[in-house]
Amino acid sequence: MAKVLIVGCGAIGSELGRVLSAQGHDVTGLKRKPPLSAPGLINYVAADISSAADLSDLDTGFTQAFFIVSPDGRNEQSYRAVYQTGLDNLLTKLPKTQWLMVSSTSVYGQTQGEWVDENCIAKPQNITSRLIRQAEQTLMAFNPANIAVRFSGIYGPGREHLLRQAMETPAIQKNPPYFTNRIHQQDCVKVLCFLLEQRLAGKALAQCYLASDDNPAPTWEVMTWLADQLHCPPPTAKAAAADADADAAMNKRCSNTRLKALGYEFHYPSYKDGYLELIMHYHELRHCRQK
């Protein structure tokens, strides 16, 4: 069993810690504001990674670590604090630790509905995505055993933006279609556990894996299906804008071939599998409130 550090214990990091601890690993969670009361499965340490002083007393005996950070805001300063200063502080403190970094498919700059995989050029346009890409490169250059895992749009309990949007009869571009990519947060945890298992088993791993479900789909298709399941009016079609909006700027199709070739099987291979559970829960709650 491994001595594991999880940097960033939000929904994914805390669940990952719970699973790994249940498997017998010695898990420490690093968080700026740890929970006041938490199950004994995770040993929490309070620290801000952007401060080297905060890390001065951190144990250096971790063999494995996960970097699952969330910046304070969607601005350059917040991203630099964690993806540049914070990561540099951690690598200085833990030079012998092997890392798994949660990255994002936003590092791809493709916007024309192209298929992308780990071999495609990752050259994002906006500064926040460039800082994530820079962090990937820093981590990979520091140790060839380090791995970046690029998650697409994460959804699940507590991440229900599309459900709320579908209930508001949104205007969606239908033609030409622009594609969206998703991964259920339960699969995020399972992917990270799976890669750690493969590493500990001595499998030869790549430095980068793209983690997205099997079904990249046009936004129009996704929102129409959601509205139907929610018994809401369907979205309305809007004309393609002359300048790409934020959604269209992410127009690409993400391939998970490398991850699946390694042996990973998605628990939620399609948005329909994952969102159906969320919608059933939504209907149950609404039924209870009406009683």
Over residues 52-92, the pLDDT tens digits come to 999 999 999 999 999 999 999 999 999 999 999 999 999 99
Q: pLDDT tens-digit profile of 246-276? A: 556 789 999 999 999 999 999 999 999 999 9
Q: Scanning the structure block, which residue is given the tokens 């750690």?
A: 196
Continuous segment of H or E residues that includes residue 255 = none
What's 250's DSSP letter?
G
Radius of gyration over alpha carbons of the chain, in Å? 20
Provide the CB-side half-sphere exposure for 86 (13 A, CA). 26
Q: pLDDT tens-digit profile of 139-195? A: 999 999 999 999 999 999 989 899 999 999 999 999 999 999 999 999 999 999 999
- pLDDT of 291 above 60: no
* pLDDT at residue 286, rounded to an integer: 55
The CATH architecture annotation of domain 3-157+181-216+254-269 reads 3-Layer(aba) Sandwich (3.40)
Tokens read off for 227: 């509205």
Count the residues in the chain. 291
* pLDDT at residue 239, rounded to an integer: 81
Q: Are 267 and 184 in contact (CB under 8 A)?
A: yes
Tokens read off for 183: 């991964």
∠ CA 100-46-71, nearest 5°, is 55
Average pLDDT, whole number, for the chain? 92
The ranges assigned to domains in the chain are 3-157+181-216+254-269
* pLDDT at residue 41, rounded to an integer: 83
Helices (DSSP H) in the chain: which residue ranges? 11-22, 76-80, 87-93, 127-142, 161-166, 185-200, 219-229, 257-261, 271-290
